Structure 1
Amino acid sequence: MSEDERTYGVVLNHEEQYSLWLVDRELPAGWRFEGKRGPKQECLDHIDQVWTDMRPLSLRERMREDATS
């Protein structure tokens, strides 16, 4: 199998969930490029470093509210 030489971008949605997307494709609604672009593995490594809390943003906010009430 040949190596994937396409360029990917790290994308982020409104819930602060991360994914990969090919940079030459239109993003689906609700997603934006986070800034990191490059080879697939490099982007995956970046996601591993920055996505430290996999809970959706809305859940994290609700849990914070519950903790203060």
Structure 2
Amino acid sequence: MTTDDEPTPVCRVVINDEDQYSVWAADRDIPAGWRAEGFTGPRADCLAHIDRVWTDMRPRSIRTPTNT
């Protein structure tokens, strides 16, 4: 929790190869296996963005049928 005297930390939305989303501090390196999705802002705004765009929580490997 921040007070009025503390700056609001900037976060970024990140996504992995399974199309799963997360929030990561913008001043930290993105962990291996993840990439920037393009949205940055306060944590609450990032979470609201994820709520809007992540409509299917299943990993891509489950959603996409494989050709066997």
TM-score, normalised via structure 2 length = 0.86
State the identity as a percent: 53
| Structure 2 unaligned regions, length at least 5 | none
1:58 equivalenced with 2:51 (yes/no): no
Find runs of 4+ consecutive structure 1 residues off by over 3 angstroms: none
TM-score, normalised via structure 1 length = 0.85
1:8 equivalenced with 2:14 (yes/no): no
1:41 equivalenced with 2:44 (yes/no): yes
1:21 equivalenced with 2:24 (yes/no): yes
Q: CA deviation at 1:10?
A: 0.3
Show CA shifts across 1:13-47 (max 9, x none): 00000000001101111000000000010000000
CA-based RMSD of the aligned residues comes to 2.0
Q: Secondary structure at the match of 2:8?
A: coil
The 2-side partners of 1:42 and 1:60 are apart by: 27
